[in-house]
């Protein structure tokens, strides 16, 4: 199994990345710190991932008990940090604390992936054999709603918790993404299968929000979802490539301006994985050729001649 993750901040300089991403053997997760309320969102998102249990949180009671068991050390540490920032900052910490979403998936036995979400980060599972995308409970229009958030000193709400399973055959890639990137992925898939998701797409467009504008831009293109996904998974193996791709999608009007996080568990057999990656690498090189000097083209042609 291959596993990897990326988490990058907004493109402005000196901007704190409030997201966090984790991928290791058997677990992938992301957390999106909510900077619009409370303080220390970036610390809370990272803390949540650092304390993830080794087995799945299967129901709301388990999530609630887990948060109840980990919040206090975080609270005490950040209370000291808040005191150093002054009285106003400290009072805000006391009144609100820190907030973040959470989405995680655990591979239990190689045949079952158990997932949970709280908020608008999403768990996906794509089967490269039957070309089907499965994902945690969300609709395109839901990205316009205020998400449920896990607070460091606030009660959780049962209606914010969702959990389920993916049955695996050895053809799948499982990946977890924060909201802006999740919207892009789901949008691409539903537009590629528009006849199946016509009502959901129309519902999202009718909201007349920024997210509906991204859908309208994507409608003007004819993009094979699997090629888009393969390009994304390949780029996520290396941070510079991931940054370039996110910047390109944002500049094209397809992706909201945000922090971006992606965690990947590639469950495919080695030969099938290599075949998919070679395909992606070929298209990545072809896409770059138009913008590269002749000498660099020749160097890359020699280096990557097995793909061309």
- For residue range 138-158, what is the model confidence (pLDDT) as tens digits? 999 999 999 999 999 999 999
Strand-by-strand arrangement of the 2-8 sheet:
2-8, 260-266, 172-177, 122-127, 132-135
Mean pLDDT, rounded, for 116-143? 96
Mean pLDDT of the chain: 89
Name the band, by pLDDT with cuts 50, 70 and 90, for residue 112.
Answer: very high
Q: What are phi and psi of 229, to 5 degrees?
A: -65, -45
Report the C-alpha gap between 95 and 98 in whole angstroms: 10
| pLDDT value at 91 more than 80 | yes
pLDDT of 274: 57
The residues, any chain, with a CB within 8 Å of residue 232's CB and separated by 6 or more, are 185, 245, 262
Report the C-alpha gap between 278 and 222 in whole angstroms: 22
Mean pLDDT, rounded, for 171-193? 97
Written as six digits, the tokens of 48 are: 């949540």
pLDDT digits (tens, 9 = 90+) for 205-222: 999 999 999 999 999 987
The residues, any chain, with a CB within 8 Å of residue 11's CB and separated by 6 or more, are 247, 250, 257
- Print burial letters for 261-294: b (CB count within 10 Å at least 16), e (below 16): bbbbbbbbeeeebeebbebbbeebbeeeeeeeee
- Considering only CA atoms, which of 183, 193, 192, 243 is closest in space to residue 213? 183
How many residues belong to the chain? 308
Q: How far is CA 79 from CA 18, 36, 38, 72, 140, in A?
A: 19, 19, 13, 10, 38
Q: Pick the residue with more confidence: 274 or 102?
A: 102
The residues, any chain, with a CB within 8 Å of residue 293's CB and separated by 6 or more, are none
Name the band, by pLDDT with cuts 50, 70 and 90, for residue 275.
Answer: low
| pLDDT value at 277 more than 80 | no
Report the C-alpha gap between 79 and 95 in whole angstroms: 12
The residues, any chain, with a CB within 8 Å of residue 12's CB and separated by 6 or more, are none
- Considering only CA atoms, which of 286, 245, 221, 262 is closest in space to residue 126? 262
| pLDDT value at 299 more than 50 | no
Q: Pick the residue with more confidence: 221 or 250?
A: 250
Name the band, by pLDDT with cuts 50, 70 and 90, for residue 62.
Answer: very high
CA angle centred on 193, ends 191 and 199, rounded to 5°: 70
Name the band, by pLDDT with cuts 50, 70 and 90, for residue 232.
Answer: very high
- Ranges 139-153, 241-255, 262-276: which has the least confidence: 262-276
| pLDDT value at 227 more than 90 | yes
- Print burial letters for 23-36: b (CB count within 10 Å at least 16), e (below 16): beebbbbbbbbbbe
Pairing between strand 99-100 and 112-118? unpaired
Q: How far is CA 254 from CA 182, 195, 215, in A?
A: 12, 21, 7
Q: Pick the residue with more confidence: 212 or 287?
A: 212
- Structure letter (DSSP) for residue 30: E
pLDDT of 205: 95
| pLDDT value at 249 more than 60 | yes
pLDDT of 222: 76
pLDDT of 308: 29
Pairing between strand 150-151 and 260-266? unpaired
Q: What are phi and psi of 177, to 5 degrees?
A: -140, 150
């Amino acid at each position: 199994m291959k596993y990897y993750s990326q988490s990058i901040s907004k493109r402005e300089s000196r901007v704190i990345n409030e997201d966090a991403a984790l991928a290791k053997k058997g677990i992938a997760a992301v957390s999106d710190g909510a900077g619009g309320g409370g303080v220390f969102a970036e610390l809370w998102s990272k803390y949540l991932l650092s304390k993830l249990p080794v087995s799945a949180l299967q129901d709301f009671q388990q999530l609630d008990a887990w948060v109840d068991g980990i919040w206090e050390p975080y609270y005490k540490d950040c209370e000291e940090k808040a005191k150093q920032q002054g009285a106003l900052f400290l009072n805000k910490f006391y009144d609100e604390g820190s907030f973040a979403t959470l989405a995680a998936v655990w591979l239990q036995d190689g045949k079952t992936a158990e997932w949970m979400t709280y908020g608008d980060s999403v768990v996906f599972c794509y089967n490269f054999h039957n070309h089907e995308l499965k994902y945690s409970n969300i609709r395109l229009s839901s990205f316009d709603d205020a998400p449920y958030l896990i607070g460091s000193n606030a009660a959780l709400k049962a209606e914010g918790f969702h959990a389920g399973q993916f049955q695996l055959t050895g053809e799948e890639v499982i990946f977890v993404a924060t909201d802006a990137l999740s919207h892009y992925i789901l949008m691409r898939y539903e537009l590629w299968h528009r006849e199946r998701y016509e009502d959901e797409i129309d519902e999202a467009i009718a909201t007349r929000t920024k997210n509906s504008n991204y859908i309208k831009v994507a409608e003007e293109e004819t993009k094979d979802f699997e090629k888009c996904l393969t390009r994304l998974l390949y780029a996520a193996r290396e941070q510079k490539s991931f940054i370039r791709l996110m910047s390109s999608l944002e500049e094209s009007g397809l992706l909201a301006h945000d922090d971006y996080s992606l965690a990947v568990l590639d469950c495919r057999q080695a030969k099938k994985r290599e075949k998919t990656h070679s395909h992606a690498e070929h298209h990545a090189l072809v896409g770059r050729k138009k913008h590269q000097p002749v000498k660099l083209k020749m160097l890359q042609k020699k280096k990557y001649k097995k793909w061309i």
